[in-house]
């Protein structure tokens, strides 16, 4: 199965660029607010509405923001707020540690399609991801928080990434990876073969907080999908 491309965007214009530039998933976040920085819920609703109004039915995910694991009530409240915006998936960052198990249990019991995003700067906790695989989430993802410290492949050995993917596949769920992935990582990604790979840094010129670059997006789409996508304008 072809690896799908998730592109993180912060506005209607960027979402349209990403959709027309070959993205398979539109991921809503505010890069200025951190690795999983959340957009205001009003903006999330506006972007979802604009995509649908343009006849774009691509799946849309949105993050709830970088909330600590001890803030369970806040996490659940934000999941409710983001889920109510009409997104297909609500992404929640999961920091490894003892509190993460209870957070996963609570997320599995809420009424929204949550995708836990395991923050892997200090490696993956196989017991935690195995637990998540028992809870019925539609997909599981890994990502990194510190985008300056290298890529996911610097943080997590390939053997552990393969084990994560095998865990998730055995549970019949989608597996996604992200973490300052660049075009140079595409061969490694193809070897890993996740269901989807997420990008922001690679599709901006310079910092991931900068604007989305249609040219970089088109170049990445060619590498991932093997076909030319015209750089689009919003």
Which pair of tokens denotes residue 136?
A: 């019925």
The Cα–Cα gap between 57 and 225 comes to 19
Residue selected from 115, 180, 218, 219 as contacting ligand G3H according to rule CB under 6 A: 180
Instruction: Kindly identify the residues of this chain, within the stretch 10-29, that bind ligand G3H according to CB under 6 A.
Output: 27, 29
The Cα–Cα gap between 107 and 160 comes to 24
- How far lies 183's CA from each of 24, 81, 164, 202, in Å? 17, 34, 22, 7
- Whose Cβ is closer to ligand G3H: residue 4's or residue 29's? 29
Residue range at the interface with ligand G3H (CB under 6 A); choices 82-90, 108-116, 154-162, 193-201: 193-201
Task: Provide the 8-state DSSP code for 115.
Answer: E
Closest distance to ligand G3H from the beta carbon of 198 (Å)? 3
Site string for ligand G3H, 26-65 (x = CB under 6 A): -x-x------------------------------------
Q: At what angle do helices 72-83 and 41-53 cross, to 10 degrees?
A: 30
Helices vs strands, H then E, count in the chain: 9, 8
Q: Provide the β-strand partners of residue 119.
A: 95, 143
29 is catalytic: yes
Q: Is 201 an interacting residue with respect to ligand G3H (CB under 6 A)?
A: yes
Closest distance to ligand G3H from the beta carbon of 182 (Å)? 8
Interface with ligand G3H by CB under 6 A: which residues? 6, 8, 27, 29, 143, 147, 178-181, 198-202, 208
């Amino acid at each position: 199965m072809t690896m799908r491309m998730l592109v993180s965007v912060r506005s209607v214009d960027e979402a349209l660029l990403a959709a027309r530039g070959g993205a398979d998933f539109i991921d809503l976040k505010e890069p200025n607010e951190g690795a999983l920085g959340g957009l205001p819920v009003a903006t999330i609703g506006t972007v979802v509405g604009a995509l649908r109004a343009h006849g774009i039915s691509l799946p849309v995910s949105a993050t709830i923001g970088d909330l600590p694991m001890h803030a369970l009530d806040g996490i659940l409240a934000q999941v409710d707020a983001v889920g109510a915006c009409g997104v297909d998936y609500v992404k929640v960052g999961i920091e490894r540690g003892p509190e993460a198990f209870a957070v996963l249990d609570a997320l599995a019991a809420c009424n929204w399609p949550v995708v836990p995003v395991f923050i892997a700067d200090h490696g993956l906790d196989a017991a935690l991801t195995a637990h998540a695989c028992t809870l019925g989430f539609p997909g599981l993802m890994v990502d990194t928080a510190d985008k300056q410290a290298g890529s996911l492949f610097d943080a997590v050995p390939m053997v552990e990434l393969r084990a994560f993917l095998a865990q998730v596949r055995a549970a019949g769920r989608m597996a996604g990876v992200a973490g300052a992935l660049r075009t140079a990582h595409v061969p490694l990604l193809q070897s890993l073969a996740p269901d989807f790979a997420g990008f922001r840094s690679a599709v901006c010129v310079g910092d991931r907080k900068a604007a989305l670059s249609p040219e970089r997006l088109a170049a990445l789409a060619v590498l991932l999908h093997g076909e030319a996508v015209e750089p689009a304008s919003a």
